[in-house]
Copies of this chain bind each other. A is one copy, B any other.
Amino acid sequence: MNKTILLNKRPQGKPELSDFKTITETIPAAGAGELVLKTRYVSVDPYLRGRMNDARSYVPPFQLNEPIQSGIIAEVVESKHADYQTGDFVSGMLAWKEYQNFFCKGLQRVDPSVASLSSYLGVLGMTGLTAYLGLTEIGKPVEGETLIVSGAGGAVGTVVGQVGKLLGCRVVGITGSDEKVHLLRDRFSFDEAINYKKSLHLKQAIRAACPDGVDCYFDNVGGEISDAVMTQLNTFARIAVCGAISLYNETEVPTGPRLQPIILTRRATMQGFIISDFSKQFASASKQLATWLGEGKLTATETIVEGFDQIPQAFLDLFEGKNTGKMIVKV
């Protein structure tokens, strides 16, 4: 028995469970040069929403009635490749299947003796690289500057804030619950955190939390939160556009204040990225993150949901902000 989760229909607006369909296939065998992988941990990420649309983006859309793919940690249960043995663990972009056969291309080995398996989806995986490289390559924070992070309680946001502190910035997070506000301040050492759902005047709250203005904005959300941050930018501010979760489920082109006057008068730079844009820096960035994690300077936070069947619901919960840190399904 091998459960597989397919894209049943393209979500209209907010995704629903009925957009997914679980089928049962047979467990595959390994062909020549192949592995059979058993799924252990599944990453669910906001960006997957974009691939569910039939629209031009940086990766091709998921196809209807085909499995969804995301970052997965799997165990090798059969190997017909000389480099891999049964019991090895790997990380890669894999299908939402309990078992799958796979050529080895694009897999990274992960070592459970160095860090927990799930951390290779989080702080030591794409999440950590996205946070570290987006911040350092685009945000370019300088010691003493003010960094503000939206989606601060999420997988990327919690790492961005911690890295910002390690780089000597004043760090302010925007998040969606009082619980996360406390966590950001107490566990992740953010200087300030703002619950945007309780801030009637978000612009004023940001101004109060950033008395010297905003030099660097790491944006995971877009929308009205970003509108408020943009009004507080300093001259030569940098905006790393990492995600726009508040806009992913819009069915019409979302509108808001035009940014050109702010970008112009503040001489700001706004840059979108995906992590593969910085693949040349993966090795050095991974090393830095692992060092900080080993030294206890970086704390990994995960929301772990159990059960293969829970993958779609865990994905939906991202849009309700039900995760703190990295949302992972343990199979």
Contact in complex: A241, B254 (CB < 8 Å): no
- Chain B residue contacts of A92, Cβ below 8 A: none
Contact in complex: B272, A264 (CB < 8 Å): yes
Q: How far is the CA of A235 from the CA of B56 in the complex (A)?
A: 11
Question: Which listed residue, B50, B257, B263, B265, touches A265 by the CB 8 Å rule?
Answer: B50
Is A222's CB within 8 Å of the partner chain B?
Answer: yes
Is A267's CB within 8 Å of the partner chain B?
Answer: yes
Residue of B with least CB distance to A231 = B253
Is A268's CB within 8 Å of the partner chain B?
Answer: yes
Q: How far is the CA of A271 from the CA of B242 in the complex (A)?
A: 17
20 A-B pairs with CB atoms under 8 Å apart are A50-B265, A56-B265, A57-B265, A222-B261, A223-B260, A226-B260, A241-B264, A242-B264, A247-B260, A253-B258, A254-B258, A256-B258, A260-B272, A262-B272, A263-B270, A264-B272, A267-B271, A267-B277, A268-B271, A269-B271
A: residues with CB less than 8 A from B are 50, 56-58, 219, 222-223, 226, 235, 241-244, 247, 253-274, 277
Top 10 closest A-B pairs, CB basis? Answer: A222-B260, A264-B272, A263-B272, A269-B271, A244-B260, A57-B265, A270-B270, A254-B258, A256-B258, A267-B272
